């Protein structure tokens, strides 16, 4: 069913990612201008990510039909594969955002426009990605709220599952999203669809993040009342100001329940710069934004995925990998927290959280 009502009015809410999952949706990396040299290196990291999640959740991978045989051979046997066209591989952003109420799960069909449409979108053609959410609602046999009047990506919001959302102004107030809407109207829309009552607006995300600074790359709830925040030690780092402003907002905020939010700072890796070799491996399409050698990638430890029994933290071959892992591990005492080296995914523009979308477990 396409639903005419609002999830909040129907008593539905977006659970926190740390609540139990039914499964996880990912998309096979296949886009030539995202993944160098045919994406072979990215696929190996992707397979390990799938394997780690599969230890405690059913994994479903969307695969373009032309890559099906390759993906079937390459991925674990217990991974469910769906053949469906997509333009790129960021399930977080265009697989359904799921809400739930008791034992009922429903999807929300946001409009996806490649992070900015004609204004500053990252590719010219995004119809397959925009189509994925209603297709997956069909596949998962869940009813769907139509929110296609609203441009939004799953990575633009975090929920504590108890009425509090965190997003960024740089993204959701960007002229490439919903320029006709006021900040208040955007806030109301988020609350109505995600069953929340409070939105905390961080000014910006990670420097040079091509999504206009998705919140999921700088900050994440680890439980109600607790967030991690990517925060560089070096005050001269370009990331310092955005992170400091975010910290100030979070420290001055209370959550929907009126409680303060404890902020746990995550270190940053040393700047990860694109190499000539990486760029040479891209199969660039006409008119796509092009990176330059030495450009900084939006590397952040906050882009982890919380599976039912494991938290998978991106590693950057950096001394801080283990520091970040330990901080996160302390916040998830009941889960195994592992580092998976992510350079080959990061070059595509996101990380493990961007690649995944959890399906909440019905009670």
User: Which x/- pattern over 171-210 shows residues binding its own copies (rule: CB under 8 A)?
Assistant: ----------------------------------------
Q: Is residue 109 close enough to count as binding its own copies by CB under 8 A?
A: yes
Cα angle 50, 23, 344; round to 5? 25
Span from 38-46, 129-137, 156-164, 323-331 in contact with its own copies (CB under 8 A): 129-137
Q: Is residue 104 close enough to count as binding its own copies by CB under 8 A?
A: no
Q: Is residue 270 close enough to count as binding its own copies by CB under 8 A?
A: no
Q: Is residue 285 close enough to count as binding its own copies by CB under 8 A?
A: no
Q: What are phi and psi of 104, to 5 degrees?
A: -110, 130
Name residues contacting its own copies, limited to 58-77 (CB under 8 A).
64-65, 68
Task: Indicate the residue among 132 and 282 with the shorter CB distance to its own copies.
Answer: 132
Provide Rg for the chain, Cα atoms. 19
Identify how many contiguous H helices and E strands the chain contains and give both numbers: 12, 17
Of residues 47, 51, 101, 139, which one binds its own copies by CB under 8 A?
139
Of residues 45, 108, 111, 156, which one binds its own copies by CB under 8 A?
111
* Tokens (6 digits) for 153: 């990506």
Other Cβ atoms within 10 Å of 317 Cβ, number: 11
Task: Indicate the residue among 96 and 163 with the shorter CB distance to its own copies.
Answer: 96
Active-site residue, 354 included: yes
Strand arrangement, sheet containing 336-341: 305-306, 310-315, 336-341
Task: Indicate the residue among 6 and 265 with the shorter CB distance to its own copies.
Answer: 6
* Tokens (6 digits) for 244: 């400091």
Q: Is residue 141 close enough to count as binding its own copies by CB under 8 A?
A: yes
**What is d(CA 121, CA 177) in angstroms, rounded to the nearest whole number?**
10
Task: Indicate the residue among 69 and 233 with the shorter CB distance to its own copies.
Answer: 69
Span from 105-113, 199-207, 247-255, 349-357 in contact with its own copies (CB under 8 A): 105-113
- Cα 323 to the center of its chain, rounded Å: 22
**What is d(CA 223, CA 157) in angstroms, rounded to the nearest whole number?**
15
- DSSP assignment of 17-71 equals TTS-EEEEEEE----TTTSGGGGHHHHHHHHHHHHHHHTTSEEEEEE-GGGHHHH
Name residues contacting its own copies, limited to 1-60 (CB under 8 A).
1-2, 4
In the complex, the smallest distance separating the C-beta of residue 345 from its own copies, rounded to whole angstroms, is: 25
Of residues 24, 42, 61, 144, which one binds its own copies by CB under 8 A?
144
| Sign of CA pseudo-dihedral 330, 333, 336, 342 | negative
- Cα 133 to the center of its chain, rounded Å: 15
Span from 26-34, 131-139, 193-201, 203-211 in contact with its own copies (CB under 8 A): 131-139
Cα angle 165, 167, 169; round to 5? 140
Name the DSSP letter for residue 134.
H
In the complex, the smallest distance separating the C-beta of residue 138 from its own copies, rounded to whole angstroms, is: 5
Q: Which of 62, 111, 219, 354 is catalytic?
A: 354
Name residues contacting its own copies, limited to 225-264 (CB under 8 A).
none
Q: Which of 15, 330, 257 is nearest to 157 (CA)?
A: 15
Q: Is residue 101 close enough to count as binding its own copies by CB under 8 A?
A: no
Q: Is residue 288 close enough to count as binding its own copies by CB under 8 A?
A: no
Active site residues: 354
What does the binding site for its own copies look like in residue numbers (CB under 8 A)?
1-2, 4, 64-65, 68, 82-85, 109, 111, 113, 127-128, 130-131, 133-139, 141-144, 146, 148-149
């Amino acid at each position: 069913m396409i639903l005419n009502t609002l999830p909040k009015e129907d008593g539905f809410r977006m659970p926190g990612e740390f609540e139990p999952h039914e499964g996880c949706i990912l998309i096979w990396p296949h886009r030539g201008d995202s993944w160098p040299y045919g994406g072979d290196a990215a696929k190996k990291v992707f397979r390990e990510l799938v394997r780690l999640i599969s230890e405690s959740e059913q994994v479903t991978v969307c695969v373009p039909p032309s890559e099906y045989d390759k993906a079937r051979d390459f991925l674990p046997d217990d991974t469910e594969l769906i053949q469906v066209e997509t333009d790129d591989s960021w399930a977080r952003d265009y697989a359904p955002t799921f809400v739930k109420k008791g034992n009922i799960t429903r999807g929300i069909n946001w409009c996806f426009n490649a992070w900015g449409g004609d204004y500053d979108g990252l590719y010219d053609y995004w119809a397959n990605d925009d189509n994925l959410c209603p297709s997956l609602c069909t596949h998962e046999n869940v009813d769907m709220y139509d929110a296609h009047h609203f441009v939004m990506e799953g990575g633009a919001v975090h929920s504590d599952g108890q009425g509090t959302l965190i997003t960024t102004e740089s993204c959701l107030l960007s002229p490439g999203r919903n320029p006709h809407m006021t900040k208040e109207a955007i806030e109301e829309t988020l609350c109505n669809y995600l069953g929340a009552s409070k939105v905390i607006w961080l000014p910006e995300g990670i420097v040079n993040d091509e999504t206009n600074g998705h919140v999921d790359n700088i900050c994440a709830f680890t439980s109600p009342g607790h967030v991690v925040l990517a925060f560089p030690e070096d005050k001269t780092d370009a990331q310092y100001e955005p992170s400091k402003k975010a910290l100030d907002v979070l420290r001055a905020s209370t959550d929907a329940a009126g409680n303060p939010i404890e902020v746990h700072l995550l270190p940053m890796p040393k700047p990860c710069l694109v190499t000539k070799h990486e760029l040479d491996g891209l199969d660039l399409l006409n008119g796509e934004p092009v990176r330059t050698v030495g450009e900084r990638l939006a590397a952040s430890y906050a882009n982890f995925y919380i599976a039912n029994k494991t938290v998978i933290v991106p590693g950057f071959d950096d001394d801080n990998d283990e520091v970040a892992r330990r901080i996160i591990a302390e916040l998830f005492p009941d889960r195994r927290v592992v580092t998976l080296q992510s350079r080959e995914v990061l070059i595509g523009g996101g990380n493990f959280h961007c690649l995944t979308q959890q399906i909440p477990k019905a009670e």
